[in-house]
Structure 1
Amino acid sequence: MSIMFEDVSFTYALNTPFQKTALKNINLEIKKGDLWLFVGHTGSGKTTLISLMNGLLLPRQGKVLVEGLSTKDKKVNIKDIRKKIGIVFQYPESQFFLPTVKEEIMFAPKNFGVQLSDDLLKYYLELVKLPESYLEKNPFELSGGEMRKVAIISVLSYNPDYIIFDEPTVGLDYVTKTSIFNLIKELHNLGKTIIISTHWIDEFASLKPNVLLLKNGEEAFKGNFDEFVLLDEKTLLEAGIIFNEKMQLYKCAIKTGKKELAEKISSI
C-alpha cells in the first residue's frame, strides 16, 4: 500500500490575475515504511505537496491516491483518507483551539471514532517525554518545543500509518531538536511511514531517507540520500540547497568510497 501522485499539478487562484502554479507533473510513490525528505527553496511546492496528500487541497490535474482511494473521488469519504495520514505542522499553535492539552489530544480520536485508552495516552506522553501533569495545562502556555510534542501526540492519538512533519526542528534549541529527531527515528522504527519537509538536511543524514528535491514546483531529483548528496553543486544551488561543513565532508567521504567514514560523519 502507498501514497501515489500521478501526473499531479496544482495552481493557486486559477483564472485570476494572481494565478500561480505551485506544482507541475509530479509523479511519486511513498510506500508503507518509507522515510522521505522533501527539500527545496521556500515556495518550491513542498507545503502544497503535503496539503494534497490528505485532501486539504485537490489536484487541478492528475490524481492523488492514498492506499487506492482518490482524494478527488466524491464517493470517497475524505475522513477515511485523513485517518490514514497525520500532519504535524511547522507552527503547532495553529492547530490548537481547546483549553487543555488533554482536550487537544482527545479531539482527533473522537473525530475519527478511535478509542484512545489511558494506558496508550500515557505511552505517548512517555514517548515524547512530557509529564502526565501537562494534560491539564493550557497548550498556549507551553514552550515551542512542548507545543510541538503535544501536536505530535495529537497525531499519534488516532494511529495514522503515514506521519508528515513540516519543518519539525525549526526554531527549537539543540536539546529539543535532538529530542524531536530521536522521536522521528523511533516512530520510523515502530513501522510508521515518515515524510519530512525541511531545509535542514544534515540532521537526517544518519537515517538515509529517500529525497524529493523540488525546484519551482517541478521535480529536480528523486532518489536515495547518497545519490542526492552527489548531485552537482550547480543543480543543488539552483534549487536552494547549500551543504554545511558536515554535509561537505559526508559528500567527500561518499565520493571517495569511504563508507565507514561517511557513517561516522552522518552520526555527528
Structure 2
Amino acid sequence: MGIKVDNVSFTYAKNTPFQKQALKNIELEIQNGELWLFIGHTGSGKSTLINTFNGLIFPEEGDIYIDDVSIKDKKKDIREIRKKIGIIFQYPETQFFLPTVNEEFEYAPKNFNVEYNLEKTKEYMDILSLPHNYLERSPFNLSGGEMRKVAIISVLSYDPDFIIFDEPTVGLDYKTRKSVFKMVKELKNRGKTLILATHWINEFVELKPKVLMLKGGDIAFKGEFDDFISLNIEELENAGIILDKKLELYRKALLKNEIDLANKIASI
C-alpha cells in the first residue's frame, strides 16, 4: 500500500481565457517507507500534485489512491484520508491562530480525534532545537525559523502516515535548514513515507531518495536518485538543481562507474 497516482490530469480555470493544464496524465506509485523528492520549477505542477493527495484538489481525470482508497470514493469520509496525509505547506506559519505554541500542537490531534502525545512532541522539539519552554510562548512572537519549526511539529503532532514537505526550507537560514533536514532523516529512520518538493537535494544523497521531476505538468523524469543525478548537467540546471562540491564529486564518481567511491562520498 501507499500512494498511487493513476493517470491524473488537472486544469485550472477550465473553459475560461485563463485555462492552464497543471497536470497531464501523471502515473506514480509511492510505497510505504519511501522518500521521494519532487523536482521542478515554479509552475511545473508539484504543488498541484501534492494537493490532490488529500483532496484539496480533485483530479478531473484519473484518480488518487491512499492505501488503496480512492479520494473520489464518496462512501469514504475524506477526513480519514486527510488524517493519513500531513502536508507542510510553503510558509505554513501564516496559518497560526491559537495563543500558545502548545495549543497549536494540540489542535490537529483534537481535530482528527487522536491522542496528543506531549513527550513525542518534545522529542520533535529537541530534533529541531526548539526549547521546551517555547510551549507556553505565543507563536506570533517567534522568529521566522522558529515559526517554521512550530508549523512542522504541528503537522507531526497527529502522527500522519505520509508526510509531505512543500518547499520546506524557503526563506530559512542555513542553520534552520539543516535542522529541517535532520528532522526529515529522523522521520525516514522511523519508517515514515516522505515526499519533499524542493530544490535542495544535496543533503539527501546518503538517503538515496526516489525522484520525480515535473516540467509543464508532464513527467520529465521518474526513478532512482543515482539515475537522476547522472542526467545531462543542462537538464539538472534547467530543473533548478544546484550541485554543491559533495554532489559534484558524487556525480563524477557515478559517471565513471566508481560505485564504491560514490558511496564513500555519500556517507561523508
The bucket for the TM-score relative to the shorter chain is: over 0.9
Partner of residue 14, structure 1:
14
Name the aligned partner's letter for residue 84 of structure 1: K
State the 1:53 CA deviation.
0.6
Give distance in 1, aligned partners of 2:244 and 2:123.
37
Q: Deviations over 1:44-98 (max 9, x none)?
A: 0111111111111110110001111111222221110010010111212122121
Give distance in 1, aligned partners of 2:120 and 2:223.
36
Partner of residue 63, structure 1:
63
1:88 maps to 2:88: yes
State the 1:155 CA deviation.
1.2
Calculate the TM-score normalised by the size of structure 1. 0.94
Calculate the TM-score normalised by the size of structure 2. 0.94
State the 1:143 CA deviation.
1.6
Q: Deviations over 1:180-224 (max 9, x none)?
A: 111110111011111000011222222110000111110011001
Give distance in 2, aligned partners of 1:240 and 1:188.
25
> For the Cα contact (< 8 Å) 1:41–1:241, is it kept in 2?
no
For residues 112-127 of structure 1, what are the structure 2 equivalents within 5 Å?
112-127=112-127
Q: Deviations over 1:95-127 (max 9, x none)?
A: 212121111111100000001133333333333
Partner of residue 156, structure 2:
156
Give distance in 2, aligned partners of 1:256 and 1:221.
22
3-state DSSP of counterpart to 2:81 = helix
3-state DSSP of counterpart to 1:103 = helix
Partner of residue 211, structure 2:
211
Partner of residue 191, structure 1:
191
Give distance in 2, aligned partners of 1:182 and 1:102.
22
Give distance in 1, aligned partners of 2:255 and 2:119.
48
Give distance in 2, aligned partners of 1:267 and 1:152.
27
Name the aligned partner's letter for residue 189 of structure 2: N
Q: In terms of mean alpha carbon deviation, does 89-98 or 52-61 score higher?
A: 89-98
Between Structure 1 and Structure 2, how many residues are aligned?
A: 268
Name the aligned partner's letter for residue 18 of structure 1: F
Partner of residue 256, structure 1:
256
Runs of 4+, deviation exceeding 4 Å: none
Partner of residue 146, structure 2:
146
3-state DSSP of counterpart to 1:83 = helix
Name the aligned partner's letter for residue 137 of structure 2: K
Give distance in 2, aligned partners of 1:122 and 1:246.
33
Give distance in 2, aligned partners of 1:128 and 1:83.
23
> For the Cα contact (< 8 Å) 1:202–1:266, is it kept in 2?
no
State the 1:253 CA deviation.
0.8
User: CA distance change for structure 1 residues 50 and 119 in 2, over 3 Å: closer, same or farther?
Assistant: same
3-state DSSP of counterpart to 2:26 = strand
Name the aligned partner's letter for residue 101 of structure 2: V
Report % sequence identity.
Answer: 61
Partner of residue 222, structure 2:
222
Partner of residue 75, structure 1:
75
3-state DSSP of counterpart to 2:106 = helix
State the 1:240 CA deviation.
4.0
> For the Cα contact (< 8 Å) 1:9–1:59, is it kept in 2?
yes
State the 1:135 CA deviation.
1.1
Q: In terms of mean alpha carbon deviation, does 125-134 or 67-76 score higher?
A: 125-134
3-state DSSP of counterpart to 1:109 = helix
3-state DSSP of counterpart to 1:5 = strand
Name the aligned partner's letter for residue 30 of structure 2: I
> For the Cα contact (< 8 Å) 2:55–2:78, is it kept in 1?
yes
